[in-house]
Amino acid sequence: MARAATLASLAAAPVVLVLAFAAAGGKGVLGAAFGLALAVAFFSATLLAVGAAGRVSVDLLLPAALLTFTVKIAAIGMLLFLLRNTTAFHRGAFALSLVAGTCVYLAAEIRFATRARVPHVQTDEKQAGSR
């Protein structure tokens, strides 16, 4: 799922980067690229961590999701705090591309999840055979 959503975000990247270049030049492209990369990294980290925890034990899914979310929010808060006065990239292009990357990634993830053929009910084989 992470691969498909990442590829969808990469497909949207040229559009976002061209718009950022038209609006803010080279610094806009740098900000837009950073915003897209941050969105993809944020969501992919959750999918990878929760997927790894799910392979170990189903009981670890929720703690893994909560811990991953907490660590990511703290890291992003620290990153934004450290970059609050930066002039290395255009902050408007960064913010808009972060929102666009998030929307594209989530839309691709939702599309994948609705099209996946995953059973919603698991039956116990021993109970089904005894009836």
What is the per-residue pLDDT for 86?
A: 87
Instruction: Record the tokens describing residue 17, joined without a space.
Output: 């980067």
| Tens digits of residue pLDDT in 7-32 | 888 888 899 999 999 998 899 999 99
Q: How far apart are CA 127 and CA 131, in angstroms?
A: 7
Between the alpha carbon of residue 96 and those of residues 26, 33, 49, 92, 129, the distances in Å are: 15, 11, 27, 6, 56
CB atoms within 10 A of CB 92: 14
Say what the pTM is: 0.77
- Residue 73: Cβ-neighbour burial (10 angstroms; 0-12, 13-18, 19+): exposed
Q: Determine what percent of the chain is predicted with pLDDT higher than 90.
A: 39
Comparing C-alpha atoms, which of 9, 39, 10, 26 is closest to residue 90? Answer: 26
Is residue 126 scored above 70 in pLDDT?
no
Structure tokens at 45: 């980290």
- The ranges assigned to domains in the chain are 2-115
pLDDT tier at 129, thresholds 50, 70, 90: low
pLDDT of residue 125: 65
pLDDT on residue 131:
52
